[in-house]
Structure 1
Amino acid sequence: MESTISHLANILQSCISKKTHLTGRVVHAYVIRLGLFSNTFLSNRLIELYSKCGDINTAYRVFSKIPERSIYSWNAILGAYCKLTHVRDAYRLFVEMPERNVVSWNTMISTLVRSGYDREALNVYEMMIVEGFVPSHFSLASTISACGALLDLEHGRRSHGLVIKVGLERNLYVANALLCMYTKCDLIKDAIHIFEDISEPNEVTFTTMMGGLSQTDNKKEALETFRLMCKKGIHIDSVSLSSILGVCSKGGYEELGLYDQNDVFPCNVKGQQIHTLTIKLGFERDLHLSNSLLDMYAKNGDMDSAAKTFTNLAEVSVVSWNIMIAGYGKIYQSKKAVDYLQRMQISGFEPDEVTYINMLAACVRSGDIANGRQIFDSMSSPSLTSWNAILSGYIQNRDHKEAIKLFREMQFQYMEPDRTTLAIILSSCAGMGHLEAGKQVHAASQKVAFRNDIYIASGLIGVYSKCGKLEWAKHVFDNVPDLDIVCWNSMMVGFSLNSLDKEAFALFKQMQHTGLSPSQFSYATILSSCAKLPSLFQGRQVHAWIMKEGYVNDIFVGSALIDMYCKCGDVDDARQFFDMMRNKSTVTWNEMIHGYAQNGYGNEALCLYKDMICSGEKPDDITFVAVLTGCSHSGLVDAGVGIFNSMQQEYGVKPVLDHYTCIIDCLGRAGRLQEAEVILDNMPYKDDPVVWEVLLSSCRVHANVSLAKRAAKELLHLDPRNSAAYVLLANIYSSLGRWDDARFIRELMSEKQIPKDPGYSWSEYNDRIHNFTEKDNLPVVAEEVVLSDAV
C-alpha cells in the first residue's frame, strides 16, 4: 500500500509541475476508488494540485474531508487562498488554524502586503513576535516593505534592529526592502548606508537607490549610481531604464560630465543616450519604457523628439497620448494638444480623466480659456481636479466674475471644494473686491472643516484687506494656530493696502521675533511701506537685512529697493544699486526711470530709457508712463511728443489714460495748450476728470482763462465735489487781478459746501517720521518703529 501511495504522490507531483488539471482529476478519482481519500499526504498533494490549477473550490472540498489535518494541510489550503488573493478567506483560515509555523506567518504577511493591507500585515507580524516565532527573511522583507508603504519609520527601525539581531542584514531581499523603506521615508543618508553595505547588489538594489536619490532631488548622485551599475556589469532591465529616465526628466543632467572611456556604457548620461541604450538592449517594444521615454522628452520641453519617438512606437496606449497632450501644454501649444486629442479619438482610444485634465492644463497655460471651457463642458462628470483647473484658468485671465459664477455652479452640483478650490476662488474675490462672495467662501471653508487651513486663511486675509475690513482680516490672522510666511505676508500687505504702514512695520518686527525668516515677498512688501511713509532710515535697515539674508540679487526685491530709494529722494543710491544688479527685468528699468522722473531728473530718465532700448529690453505701458512723466517734469516737450508717437507705431503699445494725461501735462506745462487741446479732443478718455484737472492746472500757470473755463466746466460736470476745479479757477482770476471773479468762485465753493483738501507733508528727523499739516504750528511726531535691534 505504501508503494501505491508513493506512486500516486509522484504522479500528482508531476501533475502539479505541469498544471495538468484533467489528469490530476483522474488520479483523484483513482485515490477515492482505492479508499485512500483519508490519507493526509495524498490529500495535501491534491490541495496543491487544485491550487496550482486555480480550482479553489475543489481544493477546499478536499481539505474539508481530511480526517486528520496536519499543519501542512492547513498551510496548503492557506497558500491556495493566498495565491488567488482571496485575502478575507485566507485570513479566516489563518485565524482558525489550531497551530501555525513560520511558513503560515510568512504566507499570511506576504499576502497582506501584496494585496495592499499593509497595516494588517504589521498587526500579524506583531502577533508573530508575541507568540515567540523568529521571523525569516521572507517575513522581515514583507514587513519592512509594509513599513515603507505606510511611511511608518518607528516600526521600520524596530524591524531593522531585529534584522541585525537575527543576522539577516546581509540577506539581499531584506537589504533591498530596508533600502526601499528608507528611500520612501526620504531618509537618504540611511539608504546610502544600507546601499554601501550590500556586498552583491542586483538590479533591484540599484533601481531602488536611483529612485530614492531622484525623489530627494539628488539628480547627480542618481546618475552616478546608474553609471556604477553599468560599470559593475549589473543586468539592466526595463525597470532600471525607466527609473533613470525619470531622473533625466527632471532636467539638469546635461551639466554633469561623467564620461569614462573605460566604461562599458557611456557615462555622460543624458536622455538621448538612454534612448539609444533601450534600443541596443532590445527594449524598444516595451510599452511602459516607451512611455517613460516620451515623458522624459515632454518634461524637458523637447516635443520634436517626443513626436518622433511617438510616431515610431510599436504600440501606444492612452498613457502615451496623455503624455503628448501634457507635453504640448507645457510649452503653451494648446492647438497641438487639441490636435493630438482629436487624433487619439480617431485612432479609437477613449480619453480618460487624465486626458481631460491635461487638455485643460494645456489650454489654461496657453491662455486659451474658451477651448478650455469647451473641453470642461464636454466632460460628463468632471472631477474636482478638473474644476480646479478651469477655475485657475479664469483667474489667470483675470476673469474673476466668471470664476465666481462657476464656483457657485460647482456648489449647485454638490461638488465639495477642497483647499485648492477655496484658495483659487478667494483670489478672485480679492481681485474683484467682492466682500459678500468672500464671506460666502469663508462660510464654505468652515463647513468643509478648513477652519484653520493656512492657505485659505491667507486668501481670506487678502479678501478682507482688499475690501477695507482690516479688523476681520486681523481676526482670521490671530486665529490661525500655525502661521506660515504666506499668512504673515498677507497680513503685512493688508496693512500696507490700507495705508497702515507703521502697523506693517510692527508686524514685520513681530514676525522676526517668532524666528520666521522673511521671504522675498516680505521684503518687497515692507520696502513698499518705507517708500510710502517715506522713511529712508527704515529703508536702509531693511536693505541691511536683505544683504544679510542673501536676497540682494532677487529681481523683485531689487526693484522694490530702487523704488524705495527713489521715493525717499535718494536717487543716487537707487542708481548705484541699479547698476550693481546682475539681472534686470522691465520692472527694474521702469522703477529707475520713474524714480528719475518723480525727482525731476528728466534728462537722466530719458537717457536711461534709451539705454533700456539699446539693451534689448522691450518697454511696456508703464515704461512710457515713467519716461513721459520725466519729459513733462523737465520740459522735454519735443522728446515727449516723439516718444508718445512711437508707442504704438514702433512698440505696439496702445496709449491709455495715463499716457494721454502725461502728454497733455507735458504740453500744458510748456504752454502749448492748443496742441494739448487737440489731443484731448481726439482721445477716447474725455470722460475722465483727471485729464481736465491736469489741463486746468496748466491754464493757471499760463493764465489761459477761456480754456480754463472749459476745463473747469467739464471737470465739475464729471465730478461736482472736486475742490481742485474751484481752487485752480479762483487762483487764475486772482493772478490776473480779477478779484471779483475770484471772490465769486470762493463764495460758490462755500455755498455748495465743497471742502478744500488740506495740504500735508512728511519729514524724517533723528530717525523719526514727522507729519505736518497746513494748520499745524508744531509737528505731530509719529511713533518710531525699530525693525530689529540686531541690524
Structure 2
Amino acid sequence: METMTSRLPNLLQLCIDKKSHRKGKLIHAYILRNDLLSNTFLSNRLIELYSKCGNPGSARHVFAKIPKKDVYSWNAILGAHCKVGNLEDAHALFVEMPERNTVSWNTLISALVRNGSERSALNVYDRMILEGFLPTRFTLASVFSASGALLDVGHGRRCHGLLVKIGLEENMYVGNALLCMYAKCGLIRDAIQVFDGMPEPNEVTFTAMMRGLVQTDRVLEALDMFRLMLRKGIQVDCVSLSSILGVCARGACGEFNFDDLCCNMNGKQVHCLTIKLGYEGDLHLNNSLLDMYAKSGDMDGAEKVFAFLPGVSVVSWNVMIAGYGQKYQSGNAMEYLRRMIHCGFEPDDVTYINMLAACVKSGDIETARQMFNTMSIPSVSSWNAMISGYFQNGNHKEAIKLFREMQFRNEKPDRTTLAIALSSCAGMGFLEAGKQIHAALLKDSFHIDVYVASGLIGMYSKCGKTELAKHIFYKMTELDIVCWNSMIAGCSLNSLDKEAFTFFRQMKEYGMLPTQFSYATVLSCCAKLSSSFEGKQVYGLITKDGYVNDVFVGSALIDMYCKCGEIDEARQFFNTMPIKNTVTWNEMIHGYAQNGCGDKAVALYKDMIRSGEKPDDITFVAVLTACSHSGLTDAGIEIFNSMKQEHGVEPALDHFTCIIDSLGRAGRFKEAEVLLDKMPYKDDPIIWEVLLSSCRVHANVTLAKRAADELFRLDPQSSVPYVLLANIYSSLGRWDDARAVRDMMSDKQVKKNPGYSWVENKRGTQAFMVGDNVGMVDDEVEVSEEKSCYNV
C-alpha cells in the first residue's frame, strides 16, 4: 500500500496532463477508500484534475473535505472557478483566502482579462502592488493585455517602468505583450522601440508589429516588416500568413488610399508562399485569401479561390457576398445568398449585414429595407447596417425614424447605433433629437464611451453648441484620437480656429499621434486665419510623422498655401505629390483663381484633363471663377459648353453664376440675357445680384432696373438691390432716382447691416463698426507677415 500511495501523485499528474477524467475518478475512489483525503497534497492534485476536466462541482466537493487547507488548496479551487468563468465566486474565494501568493493574484487577474473585465483586472493588479507583491511575467503580460484593450496607456507605461526595474525587459513573453499594448494604443513609435530592443523577436513579435503598423495606417511598413521576417528566417505559420493577407486586404479596401493593384500583387505573392509552404488546405487561411481578393476588388481571383476551397464555411459565403457588395453588384451578392441557402448553409447575422450593405452600396436602399423587414428578429448589427445605409445615402430623417422604431421595439442600441444616430442628428442640425439621445446615453452610461462621446461632440458642434461639446470633452476620463479630432473639427466648424490650434497642441502634449484628419483640419484652420507661419510649423510635423505623401493632407496643405497667398509654394508642393485625386487638382485650380492667376488655372485644368483625372462640378466652379476674375470670358464659355457634352457634368447654379459674372464683367450683357432666359435658375437671387453688380460697373441702367426688380420680388427684405441700384443712379448723377430708391427702402423698412473691421493686437481681436470713432496707440498693434489679419 505504501508503494501505491507513493505512486498516486504521479498517477494523478498523468491524468491531469491527459485530462483523463474517468481514470482520475478511479484514483479518487481509491483515495477515499483508503482514507487518504486528509493528505493535502493529493487533494490539491484532485482539485486540479477536476478543474482541468471541466468538473468544478467535484473540485468544490474535494476542497470542502480538506481538513488542512494550504495556499495551494486555495489556489487550486480559485483556478477551478476561474477556468469556468465563475468570476463572482472566484472573487469571493479570493477575499476569503487566509494567505495569498503571487499565483493567487495572477490567477484572478488573468481570469478577469480573459472574460473581458479588464478594468477590474487592473484594479486587482493595483491592489497586488500596494500589498507588496512583486509581479511575474504572467502578471505583466495580463496587465499589458488589459491596458491595450482599454487603451489605458497610463497603466501600461507604469507597468513598463516596473518591468525594467525588475529586469524582465528581455523576456520574450512579456516583450510581446508590451509591444501589443503600445500597438493597440496607436503608439507605434513606442512599439517600434520595444521591437528594436528585443534580442530575438519571434513570429508573435512580428505579427503584433504588423498589426500595429496597419492600425496606424502604415500598410507599406507592415509589408516591409513581413519581408524582414522572411529574411531573418523566422518561421512563418498560418497565423502570420493570415495577418499579412489582412494587411493587404485592409490596404486595398480604401481605408489607407493604398493602390488596389499593388495590394493585389502583394496578396498574390503571399498566396504563392502559402502554396509553397503547404498551407493550401487550411480553411482559415483560405478564407483570408478570399477576403484579400474580394477587398482588392479582384472578384475573378476570389471566385477561383472559392471554387477550390477544401471546405466551404459560412465565413466563405459571407466574404463573397461582401466582395460583390463592395463592387456595387447587389445582383451577384443575392445570387451567392441563394446558392448558400441551396447548399444547406444557414445564413447568420453577418450574412444579412453584408447583404444589406451590398444593397445600400448599390443604391438599392428599398431592397435593403424589404430584406430588413422580412427579418423576424433583426439583431443590433442588422439595425445598425440599415440605419447606417440611410445615413450614407444622406437620408438622415429616415435614419432617425428607424432609430426611434428600434427603441419602440425595446431593442437595446449599442455604441455604433448611437454614434450613427448622433451623426444623423448632426447632419440635419436636429439639436432636440440629439439632446434626447444624449439623455438616453446618460441613463445607460453610454456617455462615458469614447466612441459615443466623439459622436456627441460632433453633434453639438454641428448644431453650433460648441460649449456643450467642450463640456462633454472635458468630462471624459479617457480620450482617444477620435474625440480629439471631433473637438478640433468642431472648433474649426464654428470658426474658433485659434481654439482648434490649442486643442491640437494639447493633443500632442498628451502623447496622441495626429492622424490625416487631425492635420487636414488644423491646416484648414491655418488657411482660414491666413497664417502661413503656423501652417509651415504644421507642415514640419506632417513631414516628421510621415504624412507628407498623404493625398488628403497634401490637398489641405495646398489649400492653406493658396489662401495665404503663397501660390508658388502651393504649386511646388503640388508638383511633388506622388498621388493626386480630384480634390488635389481642384484645390490648386481654385488657388490660382483666388490669387488672380486665371491663365495658370486654365492651363492646370487642361493638364488635369490630359492626366486622365475626371473633373467634377467643383473643378468647373474653380476654373470658371478663374476665367471670370481674370477676364478670360471666351475660355470660360468654351469650358462651360464642354461640361455636359464632353465630361457629363450637368451645369448647376454655381456654374451659371460664374459664367453670368464673366459675361457681366466683360460688358457682354446681351449674351448674359440670352443665357438668363434659357437657364433653369431664374428664381435664385444670387444670379441677379451678380448681374446687378456688373451693371453698376458698366452703368447699364436698363438691365440693372430689371435685375433689381427681380430681387425685390425674390427677397423683399434684402438691402443689396436697393443699395446697388441707388449707387448706380448716384454714379450717373441721377440724384432724384437714387433718392427715390432710398425712400422706397425706408418705406418698406428694409435695413442695411453695418460693416465691420477687425484687428488683432496684444489685447486679442477687436471689432469696429463703420462710423466708430476709435483712437488707437500705434505701439499697441502688433503686425507681422504671419499674424496680421484685416477683414473689411
**Does the CA contact (< 8 Å) of 2:71 and 2:99 recur in 1?**
no
Larger radius of gyration between Structure 1 and Structure 2: 1
Shift of 1:692: 1.3
* AA partner of residue 713 (structure 2): H
**Separation of aligned partners in 2, 1:190 and 1:519:** 22
**Does the CA contact (< 8 Å) of 2:688 and 2:711 recur in 1?**
yes
**Separation of aligned partners in 2, 1:631 and 1:347:** 62
Q: Is residue 2:640 matched to residue 1:647?
A: no
**Does the CA contact (< 8 Å) of 1:668 and 1:695 recur in 2?**
yes
**Separation of aligned partners in 1, 2:347 and 2:465:** 46
Partner SS, residue 95 of structure 1: helix
**Separation of aligned partners in 2, 1:762 and 1:748:** 32
Residues 599-630 of structure 1: per-residue CA shift (max 9 Å, x gap): 33222221221222222222111111111111
Shift of 1:721: 1.0
Closer/same/farther in 2, CA of residues 465 and 759 from structure 1, 3 Å limit: same
Shift of 1:331: 5.0
* AA partner of residue 683 (structure 1): M
List aligned pairs for 1:648-727, cutoff 5 A.
648-727=644-723
1:88 corresponds to: 57
Closer/same/farther in 2, CA of residues 291 and 125 from structure 1, 3 Å limit: farther
Residues 543-595 of structure 1: per-residue CA shift (max 9 Å, x gap): 56656666554433433343334334443443344344444332222222222
Pairing partner for 2:244 from 226, 247, 255: 247
Closer/same/farther in 2, CA of residues 337 and 671 from structure 1, 3 Å limit: same
Partner SS, residue 722 of structure 1: coil
Shift of 1:539: 4.9
Shift of 1:467: 2.5
**Does the CA contact (< 8 Å) of 2:179 and 2:194 recur in 1?**
no
**Separation of aligned partners in 2, 1:565 and 1:75:** 74
Shift of 1:753: 2.3
**Does the CA contact (< 8 Å) of 2:50 and 2:58 recur in 1?**
yes
List aligned pairs for 1:37-76, cutoff 5 A.
66=33, 68=35
**Does the CA contact (< 8 Å) of 1:148 and 1:184 recur in 2?**
no
Shift of 1:413: 1.8
Q: Which moved more, 1:72-81 or 1:622-631?
A: 72-81
Q: Which moved more, 1:684-693 or 1:179-188?
A: 179-188
Question: Normalised by the size of structure 2, how large is the TM-score?
Answer: 0.73
* AA partner of residue 249 (structure 1): G
**Separation of aligned partners in 2, 1:524 and 1:750:** 47
**Separation of aligned partners in 1, 2:233 and 2:498:** 61
Partner SS, residue 685 of structure 1: coil
Partner SS, residue 446 of structure 2: coil
Structure 2 residue runs of 5 or longer lacking an equivalent are 140-170, 181-190, 214-221, 252-266, 788-792
List aligned pairs for 1:248-287, cutoff 5 A.
248-251=245-248, 270-277=269-276, 284=281, 287=283
Closer/same/farther in 2, CA of residues 475 and 525 from structure 1, 3 Å limit: same
Shift of 1:418: 2.8
**Separation of aligned partners in 2, 1:551 and 1:784:** 34
* AA partner of residue 600 (structure 1): G
2:454 corresponds to: 458
Shift of 1:653: 1.1
Shift of 1:326: 3.4
* AA partner of residue 88 (structure 1): G
Pairing partner for 2:597 from 592, 595, 601: 601
Q: Is residue 2:740 matched to residue 1:744?
A: yes
Q: Is residue 2:585 matched to residue 1:589?
A: yes
Closer/same/farther in 2, CA of residues 754 and 579 from structure 1, 3 Å limit: same
**Does the CA contact (< 8 Å) of 1:369 and 1:393 recur in 2?**
yes
* AA partner of residue 688 (structure 1): D
**Does the CA contact (< 8 Å) of 1:400 and 1:431 recur in 2?**
yes
Shift of 1:493: 3.6
Q: Which moved more, 1:95-104 or 1:700-709?
A: 95-104
Q: Is residue 2:344 matched to residue 1:348?
A: yes
**Separation of aligned partners in 1, 2:70 and 2:467:** 68
Closer/same/farther in 2, CA of residues 52 and 740 from structure 1, 3 Å limit: closer
* AA partner of residue 627 (structure 1): V
Closer/same/farther in 2, CA of residues 409 and 785 from structure 1, 3 Å limit: farther
Partner SS, residue 653 of structure 1: coil
**Separation of aligned partners in 2, 1:779 and 1:510:** 37
List aligned pairs for 1:218-233, cutoff 5 A.
none
**Separation of aligned partners in 2, 1:194 and 1:501:** 44
**Does the CA contact (< 8 Å) of 1:148 and 1:182 recur in 2?**
no
* AA partner of residue 273 (structure 1): C
Closer/same/farther in 2, CA of residues 688 and 445 from structure 1, 3 Å limit: same
Pairing partner for 1:414 from 406, 410, 417: 410
Shift of 1:633: 1.5
- Identity, in percent, stands at 54
2:420 corresponds to: 424
1:25 corresponds to: none
Residues 182-210 of structure 1: per-residue CA shift (max 9 Å, x gap): 6456469999999959xxxxxxxx87667
Residues 404-439 of structure 1: per-residue CA shift (max 9 Å, x gap): 111111211222223322222222111111111111
* AA partner of residue 696 (structure 1): L
Residues 732-766 of structure 1: per-residue CA shift (max 9 Å, x gap): 33344433222111111122222234345567899
Residues 310-354 of structure 1: per-residue CA shift (max 9 Å, x gap): 223343232332233334445554433322111101112111122
* AA partner of residue 271 (structure 1): V
Closer/same/farther in 2, CA of residues 298 and 664 from structure 1, 3 Å limit: closer
Partner SS, residue 650 of structure 1: helix
2:443 corresponds to: 447
* AA partner of residue 632 (structure 1): S
Shift of 1:691: 0.7
Closer/same/farther in 2, CA of residues 306 and 553 from structure 1, 3 Å limit: closer
**Does the CA contact (< 8 Å) of 1:772 and 1:780 recur in 2?**
no
Structure 1 residue runs of 5 or longer lacking an equivalent are 10-39, 163-177, 198-205, 255-267
1:733 corresponds to: 729
Closer/same/farther in 2, CA of residues 787 and 713 from structure 1, 3 Å limit: closer
- Number of residue equivalences: 699
**Does the CA contact (< 8 Å) of 1:763 and 1:771 recur in 2?**
yes
**Separation of aligned partners in 1, 2:20 and 2:503:** 73
Pairing partner for 1:325 from 321, 325, 329: 321
Shift of 1:596: 2.1
Shift of 1:656: 0.9
**Separation of aligned partners in 1, 2:533 and 2:207:** 51
List aligned pairs for 1:332-343, cutoff 5 A.
332-343=328-339
Closer/same/farther in 2, CA of residues 516 and 766 from structure 1, 3 Å limit: same
**Does the CA contact (< 8 Å) of 2:249 and 2:295 recur in 1?**
no
Closer/same/farther in 2, CA of residues 361 and 120 from structure 1, 3 Å limit: farther
1:384 corresponds to: 380
Residues 4-26 of structure 1: per-residue CA shift (max 9 Å, x gap): xx9xx9xxxxxxxxxxxxxxxxx
1:494 corresponds to: 490
Shift of 1:649: 1.2
**Separation of aligned partners in 1, 2:138 and 2:722:** 88
**Does the CA contact (< 8 Å) of 2:696 and 2:727 recur in 1?**
yes
**Does the CA contact (< 8 Å) of 2:400 and 2:421 recur in 1?**
yes
Q: Which moved more, 1:696-705 or 1:91-100?
A: 91-100
Q: Which moved more, 1:405-414 or 1:581-590?
A: 581-590
